[in-house]
Amino acid sequence: MNEGFAHTTVLLQEAVAMLRPKNDATYVDLTLGAGGHTRALLEASAPLGKVIAFDQDERAILAAQSFLSEFKDRLTLVRANFRDVRAVLNELSIDKVDGLLCDLGVSSPQLDEGERGFSYQHDAPLDMRMDQRQKMSAKDLVAKLDARELTDIFRTYGEEKWATRIASFIVKERIEHPIETTGQLVEVIKKAVPAAARRDGPHPAKRVFQALRIKVNDELGALEDVLAIAPDILHLGARIAMITFHSLEDRLVKQSFVNESRECICPPHTPICTCSHVARLKIITRKPVLPTEKEIADNPRARSAKLRVAERFAKHQNL
């Protein structure tokens, strides 16, 4: 257990087994978090397998330096956004790797450490930055965006039914008092969402907090970037395993795997193919792998997890 930085790893055995870890191979864990997948990959590829583990959160890197110290130079920790994986591998003089793993979203410590401002359950500065070096925080978005932009974020990333009302309450409230804490934002949301709608279902702030977090960290942008690069950094036969937690992420992963597995991506009914697209991935999981009922009972956070896996292949072996 990563003391003081605990997170129950989701789909641990399933994701690692899909990568078929081998001794003397190199893997990339794009989302180190509390190190559960990284540790399992290192153990399964012992004695010589290597893992390069990314996280943009300094706390995750610092915790792993002691939690995973026994693996010595088999593990390289990189504090960077995973969208920069190509540049980081270049710096490490690595062209291609034998597997990529990505377990999206936030870690439990990010949610549980109130002061990070991710949680509507702890009153704290409204922050939500995974990378503490980043300038823009949730407070800046809530202070600067106009009602239309806020509505759009709440609707698109949070599927919030009361998006327009919440945005207009925020804009009114901030004229009187700047909204600087999670507690203040929760109060505004509670005022905006009618009592009847607040009675059932999840916490009224859940969707708005999710939406702001996705926007602050440009989570979908980073995901699109890494999906576009992934086939280029995998050896032939190497696999990519992606764990997602909501439908927007899963759709991007699914669509990218489908596109990368097609010989042609011209619009439907195009008489002659002009795209010169070449299939580079083979889909391994036609349907996503889901957590078992037991895993969900033990770790409710696993409820919405989906694992999709694809394998680098080439008709012409030099691609």
Binding site for ligand SAM (CB under 6 A): 7, 9, 31, 33-37, 54-57, 60, 81-83, 103, 105-107, 130, 222
Q: What share of the chain is helix, strand, coil (3-state, %, to 5)?
A: 45, 15, 40
Nearer to ligand SAM, 37 or 254 (CB): 37
Structure tokens, 114: 């109130």
Tell me the closest approach of the beta carbon of residue 221 to ligand SAM, in angstroms: 9
Quick one: which H or E segment has residue 103? strand 97-103
Instruction: Based on DSSP, count helices (H) and strands (E) in the chain, helices before strands.
Output: 14, 7
Tell me the closest approach of the beta carbon of residue 57 to ligand SAM, in angstroms: 4
Tell me the closest approach of the beta carbon of residue 220 to ligand SAM, in angstroms: 10
Tell me the closest approach of the beta carbon of residue 64 to ligand SAM, in angstroms: 9
Exposure on the CB side of residue 83, measured as CA atoms within 13 A: 9
Distance CA 261, CA 314 (A): 10
Structure tokens, 166: 């919440």
The closest residue (CB) to ligand SAM is 33
Nearer to ligand SAM, 92 or 273 (CB): 92
With vertex at residue 45, the alpha carbon angle to CA 39 and CA 51, rounded to the nearest 5 degrees, is 55
Nearer to ligand SAM, 294 or 316 (CB): 294
CA distances 98 to 7, 26, 49, 95, 318, Å, are: 26, 5, 10, 11, 17
Tell me the closest approach of the beta carbon of residue 13 to ligand SAM, in angstroms: 12
Nearer to ligand SAM, 109 or 158 (CB): 109
Tell me the closest approach of the beta carbon of residue 68 to ligand SAM, in angstroms: 11
Nearer to ligand SAM, 31 or 151 (CB): 31
Distance CA 137, CA 175 (A): 19
Nearer to ligand SAM, 11 or 163 (CB): 11
